[in-house]
Structure 1
Amino acid sequence: MNGGPSRPKVVILGLDGVGWSLIQALTAKGVMPHLKALVRESICGEMLSTLPEISPVAWTTFFTARNPGVHGIFGFTEFKGPGYQVRLNGSGQIQAPTLWDWLGLKNFRSVVLNVPMTYPAQPLSG
């Protein structure tokens, strides 16, 4: 132990493509007891999604707090070049700072696991 004051810890658990009503139904039936405990002991709730309601747009909007016109992700792919070649979107196409970028600037550490649109992994500071 370092003896200094502890810093707050936050965990964000996102379940892609699962509506809040389904989570409530499954936890009420006892199908997912561990998730039920997390819901009971955490701050949880329904969130509005983006339009279009697809994973790359929604997740990038969530972790940049910017709309697609700012962060630059409009889908899984984009058409580039004079021949309109299809290119998969990934972390290199995100044009706005992420939540963990901002946290790193304030010397908070982040662990980012299995978040859509974060491949290839970018360096983290903090």
Structure 2
Amino acid sequence: MKRSLALLATVAAGGSVLTACTEEQAYCVDLAKYGAKAVDVDPQKPVDYVKILDDAKKLQESAPADVKDDWGVVVAFAEKAKQAGSDTVELAKLSKQTGGVMTAYKNITSQAKDSCKVDLPALN
């Protein structure tokens, strides 16, 4: 009985350590998957941001604090692009607002490389 309780306590303690570790690992795995999809995104075409909206929202939720706001910038821009749809006037307006998104994405890219060892596609 004592042996079972000791084993159970060890497993429970180990589980809490694994949970803390797997959240960061899960973010890194999701980030790598996102990177594979983001290859097709042209940063100068706001309509392309719609392609990564769902992934960006998921990453924003699980992102570390140092890039959570940057993901918020990407998500907000992608949502605006989605709302614009095929309205060329609105998309043209958004094209002029890519600077903030590019800065946020550079922060995300740097953090991805440093913390997750993930290379995201470069924005040109």
Shared fold, TM over 0.5: no
More strand by share: 1
Higher relative contact order (CA 8 A, sep 6+): 2
Normalized against structure 1, the TM-score is what? 0.28
